A and B are shown apart, each in its own frame.
Chain A
Amino acid sequence: MEETLFSKIGVFLNRMLVFQPPKLPSRFVLEEKSRNDSPSQAEDPLKKALAELEALIRYGRRLQATLEKTRAALQGNRWDDERKVLRAEYTALEKQRQELNPLVLAYDVQTDNAGERPVSTSLTENRRLVEALYRLPVNKDLIVRDLTIGTAPPLKAMLIYLEGLTDGKIVGLMILQPLMLLSQGKRKATGDALIRQVMEELLPGNQVQPVGNFQDIQDRVNSGDTVVFLDGAAEALVVETKGWEHRGVGRPAIEQSIRGSQAAFAENLRVNTGLIRTMLRSSDLVTEMVPVGTRSRVNCAIMYLESVANADLVAEVKRRVSGFSTDYVDDSGFLEQFIEDKFILPLPQSLSTERPDRVASHLSEGRVAIITEGSPFALVVPVTFFTFFHSAEDFSLNPIAANFLRLLRVLGTFISIMLPALYIAITYFHQEALPTELALAIAGAREDVPFPAIFEVIMMELSFELIREAGVRIPGVLGSTIGIVGAIILGQAAVSAHIVSPIIVILVAITGLASSIIPEYRMALFARLSRFALLLLATFTGLVGLASGVLTIVVGLCSMKSYGVPYMAPIGPKVVPTLDVVVRGSAERRERRPDSLNTKDPTRQPYVSREWARKLPTGEEEK
Chain B
Amino acid sequence: MPRLILGIFLLLTALLLAGCNGSRETDEIAYITAVGIDSAPEGKIKVSYRIAQPAALAGEAGKGGGGGRTTEVLGIVAPSLAIARDELGASVARVPNLAHIKAIVIGEDLARQGLGDSLGPLMRFREFRGSMFILVAKGTTAEQVLRQNKPIIEKLPSRFVEGMMENASVTGGYHMQTFFHHFYLRLKAAGGAPIATLIGVNPLTEEDQPSAGPTSPEKSYEYLPEKLPRTAGNPATLLGVAIFYHGSMVGVLTDEETRMLSILVNEFERGFITIEDPLEPSRGINVLMRPGSSPRIDTAFVDGRAVVRIHILMEGEVTSIGSGINYEDGEYRTLLENQISQLFELEMTQMLRHTQEVNADVANLSKYFRPHFARYQDFRSIDWDNLYSQMDIQVEVETKIRRFGLMRNTAPLRGKE
Contact A432 B55 (CB under 8 A): no
Contact A428 B129 (CB under 8 A): no
Q: Pick the interface stretch among A24-32, A198-206, A395-403, A534-542.
A: A534-542
Contact B26 A453 (CB under 8 A): yes
A495 interface residue (CB < 8 Å to B): yes
- Please report the C-alpha to C-alpha distance between residue A233 and residue B56 in the assembled complex, in whole angstroms: 97
B29 interface residue (CB < 8 Å to A): yes
Given known contacts A17-B10, A542-B19, A548-B15, is B61 in contact with A447 (CB within 8 Å)?
Answer: no
Question: Which one, A448, A452, A537, A539, contacts B55 given CB within 8 A?
Answer: A448
- Please report the C-alpha to C-alpha distance between residue A446 and residue B28 in the assembled complex, in whole angstroms: 11
**A394: shortest Cβ distance to chain B, in Å?**
38
Contact B18 A428 (CB under 8 A): no
Question: Which one, B2, B19, B21, B55, contacts A444 given CB within 8 A?
Answer: B55
B378 interface residue (CB < 8 Å to A): no
Question: Which one, A430, A436, A442, A444, contacts B100 given CB within 8 A?
Answer: A436
- Please report the C-alpha to C-alpha distance between residue A432 and residue B58 in the assembled complex, in whole angstroms: 19
Contact A440 B52 (CB under 8 A): yes
Q: Considering only CB atoms and an 8 Å cut-off, how many residues of chain B contact the other chain?
A: 39
- Which residues 9-58 in B have Cβ within 8 Å of A in the complex? 10, 15-16, 18-27, 29, 31, 33, 52, 54-58
Taken residue by residue from 106 to 118, chain B's Cβ proximity to chain A (1 for < 8 Å, 0 otherwise) reads as 0000000000000
Specify the chain B residue showing the minimal Cβ separation from A344.
B4
- Which residues 516-566 in A have Cβ within 8 Å of B in the complex? 537, 539-545, 548
Specify the chain B residue showing the minimal Cβ separation from A451.
B25
Beyond A432-B99, A439-B31, A446-B27: 18 further Cβ-contacts under 8 Å? A17-B6, A429-B23, A431-B24, A431-B100, A436-B100, A443-B26, A443-B29, A444-B56, A445-B58, A446-B25, A446-B26, A447-B27, A537-B15, A541-B15, A542-B19, A544-B20, A545-B19, A545-B20
Contact B20 A440 (CB under 8 A): no
B7 interface residue (CB < 8 Å to A): yes
- Which residues 136-167 in B have Cβ within 8 Å of A in the complex? 156, 158-159, 162
Taken residue by residue from 424 to 435, chain A's Cβ proximity to chain B (1 for < 8 Å, 0 otherwise) reads as 010111111000
Given known contacts A436-B156, A442-B26, is B55 in contact with A447 (CB within 8 Å)?
Answer: yes
Given known contacts A436-B100, A436-B156, is B54 in contact with A539 (CB within 8 Å)?
Answer: no
Contact B19 A544 (CB under 8 A): yes
Range, interface on chain A? 35 or more
- Please report the C-alpha to C-alpha distance between residue A428 and residue B97 in the assembled complex, in whole angstroms: 12
Taken residue by residue from 391 to 402, chain B's Cβ proximity to chain A (1 for < 8 Å, 0 otherwise) reads as 000000000000
Contact B3 A541 (CB under 8 A): no
Contact B19 A541 (CB under 8 A): yes
Contact B23 A539 (CB under 8 A): yes
Specify the chain B residue showing the minimal Cβ separation from A12.
B6
- Please report the C-alpha to C-alpha distance between residue A502 and residue B15 in the assembled complex, in whole angstroms: 32
A437 interface residue (CB < 8 Å to B): yes
B203 interface residue (CB < 8 Å to A): no
- Please report the C-alpha to C-alpha distance between residue A448 and residue B63 in the assembled complex, in whole angstroms: 15
Contact B19 A440 (CB under 8 A): no
- Please report the C-alpha to C-alpha distance between residue A430 and residue B26 in the assembled complex, in whole angstroms: 11
Q: What residues on B are CB-neighbors of A502 within 8 Å?
A: 61
Contact B57 A428 (CB under 8 A): no
**A358: shortest Cβ distance to chain B, in Å?**
37
